Amino acid sequence: MADIKAVITEYLAAVASGDASKVAALYADEATLEDPVGSEPNRGRAAIEAFYGGLQGEISTELLNARVAGLEAAFHFRVITKAGDATYTIEPIDVMTFDESGKITSMRAFWSPEDMVVG
């Protein structure tokens, strides 16, 4: 079975790289992405790559906690984005499902705008 914690680590590194195609490559073809939870999900890898195309500035990520149960996981992490003089910090909890090869089949990001810290 895929090493789910390793995939999560790879995912956060890909987000920090700012390279949308690198992030999208971790998803299965027909994956869904709902960020934040309650918004209309993005469906399929092309839509997912377009979503991550919004990544801008200098990004760093840090895994705070991960809980894996079979081919599903929930993990708490920090994303710091520096854009111009501003720094945006957000610490979502993401829930992901994976296929047997470790590709992400769904992602749901739990956060709300009030969780964003601007410094």
Structure tokens at 9: 């680590």
Known catalytic residue: 88? no
Contact with its own copies (CB under 8 A) among 31, 92, 104, 107: 92
Q: Which of 9, 17, 22, 111 binds its own copies (CB under 8 A)?
A: 111
Asked if 100 is part of the footprint of its own copies (rule: CB under 8 A), the reply reads no
Could you give the count of Cα atoms lying within 13 Å of 108 in the half-sphere of its Cβ? 10
CA dist., res. 119 & res. 45, Å (int): 33
76 sits near its own copies (criterion: CB under 8 A): yes
Residues noted as catalytic:
11, 35
